[in-house]
């Protein structure tokens, strides 16, 4: 039984979709959590907290709904940008932006999506955030 518990704690993954449209600046939230193995993602705050030291992969995509809207999305690790995306919708063409990063995190470090443009608009049907543990240190 103890071998099973040790293996189970290595499972860390999440996938979530923005619950409602988000405009302005700050951490994107809240999210509807679809998968949350290891319970490391908080859908209310939109923040992932590493439960253990290791290498993680994160990806997010975002889009807008109508003309003259855009997103300026930053994937941040403890408040520092590690990846950025910009996309805008003009002339009726739908566009999407995405960010990805493979990061080494120590237990307790946090990762989230940040918007720094007061005019940004994130549509809930087109905005999602996912991440998973690739390899744990122990």
Residue 82 located in a structural domain? yes
Residue 111 located in a structural domain? yes
Give the per-residue pLDDT at 93.
66
Residue 77 located in a structural domain? yes
Domain range holding 41? 22-136
As for how many domains the chain has, the answer is 1
CATH at residue 117: 2.60.120.40
Output the pTM of the full model: 0.88
List, for residues 35-81, the tens digit of each pLDDT value.
999 999 999 999 999 999 999 999 999 987 766 777 889 999 999 99
Residue 14 located in a structural domain? no
The whole-angstrom separation of Cα 136 and Cα 56 is 9
> In the Cβ-directed half-sphere of 118, how many Cα atoms lie within 13 Å?
0
Residue 84 located in a structural domain? yes
The region of weakest confidence among 14-18, 31-35, 86-90, 113-117 is 86-90
Q: For residue 61, what are its two tokens?
A: 């995509």
Residue 13 located in a structural domain? no
Residue 8 located in a structural domain? no
List, for residues 110-128, the tens digit of each pLDDT value.
999 999 888 788 888 889 9
> In the Cβ-directed half-sphere of 30, how many Cα atoms lie within 13 Å?
7
Kindly report the backbone phi and psi dihedral angles of residue 5, in degrees, each rounded to the nearest multiple of 5, phi listed first.
-65, -40
List, for residues 90-113, the tens digit of each pLDDT value.
666 677 889 999 999 999 999 999
Residue 11 located in a structural domain? no
Give the per-residue pLDDT at 56.
98
Q: How confident is the model at residue 2 (pLDDT cuts 50, 70, 90)?
A: very low
């Amino acid at each position: 039984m103890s071998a099973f518990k040790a293996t189970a704690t290595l499972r860390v993954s999440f996938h979530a979709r923005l619950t409602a449209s988000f405009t302005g600046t700050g951490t994107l939230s809240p999210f509807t959590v679809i998968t949350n193995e290891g319970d490391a993602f908080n859908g209310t705050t939109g923040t992932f907290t590493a439960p253990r030291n290791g290498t993680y992969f994160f990806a997010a995509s975002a889009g807008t709904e109508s003309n003259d809207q855009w997103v300026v999305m930053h994937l941040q690790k403890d408040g520092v940008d590690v990846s950025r995306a910009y996309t805008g919708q003009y002339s009726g063409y739908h566009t999407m932006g995405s960010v990805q990063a493979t990061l080494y995190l120590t237990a307790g470090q946090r990762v989230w999506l940040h918007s720094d443009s007061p005019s940004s608009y994130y549509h809930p049907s087109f905005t999602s955030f996912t991440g998973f543990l690739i390899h744990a240190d122990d």
